[in-house]
Amino acid sequence: MTETAPAAASAPSLAFGIGPDGTYTRFGQAAAFVLGLVTTFAFLPLTVVAALLYTRAETRFAEDPARARALVNWSWLCITVPVVIAVVAGAAVALTR
């Protein structure tokens, strides 16, 4: 019979653009800047919410990494959703002309 190796413990999933130590990756920094800038022009209140969520995540990372990752993911949604809506609306306007 062949023996199977024990399953390795799966590493915790990281939030988009965040490294294992809880800091932004270079790509994450660039994406956050571009999406944040576009969102600022499209919908200012969500930019504020995203900033507050990420700030809260930074303070929680040491004691509760899973919750911090969830907060970071929500902050990404806050700055991404308006961009997606703007692209879809722009495409719809372009198709109607």
Please tell me the predicted confidence (pLDDT) of residue 75: 92
Q: Give the HSE-up count for residue 51: Cα atoms under 13 Å, Cβ half-sphere.
A: 10
Q: How far apart are CA 83 and CA 65, in angstroms?
A: 28
pLDDT tens digits, one per residue of 1-47: 555 555 555 666 767 778 888 788 888 888 888 887 877 776 778 88
Give CA separation, 78 vs 1, 45, 47, 85, in Å. Answer: 53, 9, 7, 12
- In this predicted model, what pLDDT tens digit does every residue of 37-96 receive, in sequence order? 877 776 778 888 889 998 999 888 889 989 988 999 999 998 888 888 888 988 888 888
Q: Is 45 exposed, middle or buried (0-12, 13-18, 19+ CB in 10 A)?
A: exposed
Q: What pLDDT, on the 0 to 100 scale, is given for residue 96? A: 81
Residue with tokens 């800038």: 37
